[in-house]
Homo-oligomer: A and B are copies of this chain.
Amino acid sequence: MMHHRVIADNGLKVTSGGCAVAVRLPWYRSLPLSVVDVVSIEFDGRVIDMSNVVFQLEGSSIRLDELRARTTENWFVLDTAYLVLNEKNLEVGKEYDVAVTLAIYPPYLKDLHRVVRTQKRLLAH
């Protein structure tokens, strides 16, 4: 179910402080940030430490543990968010296996939550 939608095409950007992974909401409509969990990120099979990951959307930089409180901010379904990571030493033009798992809790459905993991081989740009 939308298993390929979490990571955007060409979604690995090398930045001065590390890198950023471009992510999309694996759902058909916008959802409040409060019902989105960033569960895990893997780099070449290695699970990375999530404590320093920052979620960047529309000019806001949000710690992952702050998302649940953001009940009034929506992630518009066409917008790309960025997971900003400390992951260093990436080289532009090299390929990496990246996997991101998001969990969403559609707020109009009782008991539904969906865990979606996308894995892609990405060429860093």
Contacts and interface: CB of A to CB of B under 8 A. Distances in A.
Categorize the interface residue count of chain A: 20 to 34
Nearest to A59: B20
The A contact surface, by secondary structure, is strand
B61 A82 contact: no
Copies of this protein chain in the complex:
2
A54 to B, nearest CB: 8
Interface of A: 13, 15-17, 19-22, 56, 58-61, 72, 79-80, 82-84, 92
A22 B61 CA distance: 15
Nearest to A20: B59
Question: Which of A19, A56, A60, A84: most chain B CB closer than 10 A?
Answer: A60
